[in-house]
Amino acid sequence: MIWFIIKLLICVACLIFLSVIFIKRFFLVLTERKMQAKLLKEASKIEAPVSQPESTPVVPVSLPEPDSSKVADTRSLFKKGEMAFAKKDYDSAQKYFVKVLEIDENHADGNLQLGLTYLKQKNFPKAEFVFHKLVNLKKDPIYYSNLGLALYSQGRLLEAAEAYENALSLDSKRAARFASLAQIYRELNNDEKAVLNFEKASKKSPRNTEYLWALVEYYRKLGREEDLFNTAKKILELDPYNEDAKKILG
């Protein structure tokens, strides 16, 4: 009798368990069907993309006139960038110049100012990229000299020297370019080219004592006593109380 009751209870428990599973499955199926219906309804609202032919004949058209609104936008953005740059707000300046280039990617002044901004931010790889782009658009000494600075700042001395040489081949009027090139050759341990370019820098800017002292260093190193003496005299003419120059003259 006891065994019969136990078996009956077990059967009842199994039936209850199976019923629960069935009910859960039933509700899961209903939920799944509702979700599928919802997805189908949403999918029907989305237009299928229009496929393009693999080849479309090119129809010649006349070039449109420059969009005056875009020209106005670039001017406004460029002006804002210049103002931010002048205030040394280089992050804002960068954003404005980037927006200028989004409208006109070959905007010469926009590229130049963006490159200069990257130099101020010490983002030398990006500055290099911009100035490489500019020299490909136009062989300009300013572009080459700034490219040289970007390369020098990354320790790429030979490439930097080449960039400054290119700048000087286009415009040899600025003393600072010769001095920059001389400094690169100094770091490359090329004494002959270093002293030659410091001499050219000093001729362009004869009152610059930094250039004269650089020449003193090299004339002493190379044993050029007469040049050393004459350079010390020039320094004393500019700075009569300079004790170091007096020592050289004895």
Distance between CA atoms of 18 and 1, rounded to whole angstroms?
26
Give a yes or no: residue 106 inside a domain.
yes
Give the position of tokens 């237009």: 47
Give a yes or no: residue 158 inside a domain.
yes
**What pLDDT is stored for residue 15 in this prediction?**
55
| Cα separations in angstroms, 12 against 2, 5, 20, 23 | 15, 11, 12, 17
Distance between CA atoms of 110 and 97, rounded to whole angstroms?
6
Task: Kindly tell me the burial class for residue 26, based on how many C-beta atoms sit within 10 Å of its own C-beta (0-12, 13-18, 19 or more).
Answer: exposed
- Under 8 Å between Cβ of 128 and 150: yes
In tens digits, the chain (250 residues) has pLDDT values of 565 555 555 655 555 654 544 454 544 444 444 433 433 333 333 222 322 322 233 333 333 344 566 677 889 999 999 999 999 999 999 999 999 999 999 999 999 999 999 999 999 999 999 999 999 999 999 999 999 999 999 999 999 999 999 999 999 999 999 999 999 999 999 999 999 999 999 999 999 999 999 999 999 999 999 999 999 999 999 999 999 999 999 8
**What pLDDT is stored for residue 72 in this prediction?**
77
**What pLDDT is stored for residue 39 in this prediction?**
32
Tell how far CA 62 is from the center of its chain.
Answer: 36
**What pLDDT is stored for residue 100 in this prediction?**
96
Give a yes or no: residue 116 inside a domain.
yes
**What pLDDT is stored for residue 73 in this prediction?**
85
Give a yes or no: residue 24 inside a domain.
no
**Cα–Cα–Cα angle for 86, 87, 88, nearest 5°?**
90
Phi and psi at 226, nearest 5°, equal -65, -45
Distance between CA atoms of 68 and 216, rounded to whole angstroms?
58
Give a yes or no: residue 60 inside a domain.
no
The domain in which residue 132 lies consists of 69-198
- pTM of the entire structure? 0.70
| Count: domains in the chain | 1
Give a yes or no: residue 155 inside a domain.
yes
CATH of the domain at 192: 1.25.40.10
Give a yes or no: residue 105 inside a domain.
yes
